[in-house]
Amino acid sequence: MTVGSKVKQTLAALKGSEAILRLYSLKERDKEARVIYTEAFEEISKIKIDLEKRVSYIEFEEPQYKGN
């Protein structure tokens, strides 16, 4: 498995985690728990954005990884 595919796999997992945390934050009734879910969602969103930039960089530097 190449570095590019590992980064993309990690990005896909983060997107799934982000969606689940967003769902939990919207459905949670306890205000404190909702805040915790929202904070975790926001933190994962930041990490996701960084990884998306990394994927773009990898694809630019190594065109063979584009689309894999």
Radius of gyration of the chain measured on its C-alpha atoms: 15
Is 6 within 8 Å of 65 (Cβ atoms)?
Answer: no
Domain ranges (residues) in the chain? 3-60
- How many Å apart are CA 10 and CA 15, to the nearest integer? 9
Q: What is the DSSP string of 7-50?
A: HHHHHHHHHHHHHHHHHHHHH--SHHHHHHHHHHHHHHHHHHHH
Look at residue 67 in the predicted model and tell me its pLDDT.
Answer: 62
Q: Are 47 and 55 in contact (CB under 8 A)?
A: no
The pTM assigned to this predicted structure is 0.79
- Please give the share of the chain, as a percent, with pLDDT higher than 90: 69
Model confidence at 61, pLDDT cuts 50, 70, 90, reads confident
Per-residue pLDDT at 62? 77
